[in-house]
Amino acid sequence: MEGWHAVAASDEVEEDDVVCVQACGRTLAVFHLEDGGYHVTDDCCTHQEASLSEGYLQGDTIECPRHQGVFHVPTGKPMGPPVVDTLHVYPTKVEDGHVWVRIP
């Protein structure tokens, strides 16, 4: 399962929005930020079990819907308590109308 995988049609993810997808046994969050960039991270918050794609996207940060921890989407860096662990960010590209993710 290693390698690049198309996880969504790029026009399925509206600008300033995030969707949850399943790929290679993982649950991922596909972000389309207001600057036009696409990013893919694990969907599960690093604090406890919560789906970040159900959170609040503001600019390039996502606020967890459960305890309002905040992550920087492009880097996965935690930006606000209670989150302390970095969110996994996957190498991402847009090609042939799809968002592709490299699964390690």
Interface with ligand FES (CB under 6 A), residue from 10, 12, 27, 66: 66
Is 83 a residue that touches ligand FES (CB under 6 A)? yes
Site string for ligand FES, 35-54 (x = CB under 6 A): ----------x-xx-x----
Q: Look-up: residue for tokens 């300033």?
A: 16
Among candidates 28, 23, 58, which has minimal Cα distance to 41?
A: 28
Residue 33 token pair: 């930020």
Q: Which of 27, 67, 75, 94 is close enough to bind ligand FES by CB under 6 A? A: 67
Determine contact, residues 64/55, Cβ cutoff 8 Å: yes
